[in-house]
Amino acid sequence: MLLVKSQKLKKFKDRIGYEQVVFSPDPDVGVVADWDGVKEFLPTQEAGWKAFSEDVYVLAGGLVMRKWSFRRGTATFILKVHVSSSGAQVARERFLSGVSTTSMAKIPYVRGPAWLGELSVQMPGTPLQTVFWVFHNVFVELRDTSGISVEPMARLLQGFMERHVQKGVSQRLPRIDKVTVSKSKLHVDEEVELQVHLKQSQPSQELRIEFLANPEELGLMKQSATAFSYQALRPGTSTVEASLCDLKFLLMSQAQVQVDIQPKR
């Protein structure tokens, strides 16, 4: 199955000329923006749309995704913005993963408008209803099944990103000072608290802290804004990844901590 997907992706990349695309050479140049700023471009109640959902997701590899969904009758509008804090290459890999996730024998997308990002692809035909594009450290998915072209929206989003390109994205990430573990000696069935401590110098932001642990090794018991408590389930060394996400700028940083679990007393 993986071989089939790999072959399908290679044919797609050849067809759209992916290897010939000139991307920005500096991986630390990217979009640094308060993504609340795109709300003025989104569908409105006056046009008959109803907001269905708006969520932020912390993904693997230093990616944060914000998703907006709207409905009007049977029509749906979906905007997903994926922002990489780990460089532009991660955004491009997410772009390729996104467009190749299809059950069709052939990836259906064709090269999109040249003015849209560094590379864009779309569903063939008009009006423009489904389009994906990558621009520096951002991958965007835009879909509208109402039959109205998304081109005006895509132009507004691209212009927004272009106005917020900066050097030194890595210097704008929210900062974790340290992650502390409440017990140095932990046994199976005992509880331990992991807490994220923030850098004091950073400005006040809308932040979210998440922990990712192996559920077979550590069972989540409770959580607060900065700390998660786990029950030790089996002996060994368990690696826990803490992430700190800026919910407006969709930038994040990560830190790892190891928890040594001894057999039950």
pLDDT tens for the chain, 265 residues long, are 444 468 888 888 999 989 899 898 888 999 999 999 999 999 999 999 999 999 999 998 899 999 999 999 999 999 999 999 999 999 999 999 998 887 777 888 999 999 999 999 999 888 889 999 999 999 999 999 999 999 999 999 999 999 999 999 999 999 999 999 998 889 999 999 999 999 876 665 789 999 999 999 999 999 999 999 999 999 999 999 999 999 999 999 999 999 999 999 8
Predicted pLDDT of residue 202: 65
Q: Residue 265: what pLDDT?
A: 84
Q: Domain ranges for the chain, please list them.
A: 2-169, 173-262
User: What strands, in cross-sheet order, belong to the sheet with 63-72?
Assistant: 50-59, 63-72, 75-84, 138-144, 130-135, 119-122, 110-111
Q: What pLDDT does 2 receive?
A: 47
Q: What pTM does this model have? A: 0.91
Nearest to 113 by CA among 71, 82, 158: 158
Identify the pLDDT of residue 1.
41
DSSP-derived 3-state class of residue 7: helix
Is the CATH code 2.40.128 the one for domain 2-169? no
> How, if at all, do strands 236-246 and 227-232 pair?
unpaired
Q: Taking the domain 173-262, which CATH number applies?
A: 2.60.40.1080
Which pLDDT belongs to residue 204?
Answer: 57
Cα-based torsion angle of the residue sequence 45, 33, 131, 108 in order, rounded to the nearest 10 degrees: -130
- The pLDDT of residue 104: 74
Instruction: Find residue 76's DSSP bridge partners.
Output: 71
Supply the pLDDT for residue 80. Answer: 98
Cα separation, 187 vs 191, in Å, equals 8
Residue 250 zone, left/alpha/beta (φ > 0; ψ -120 to 50; rest): left
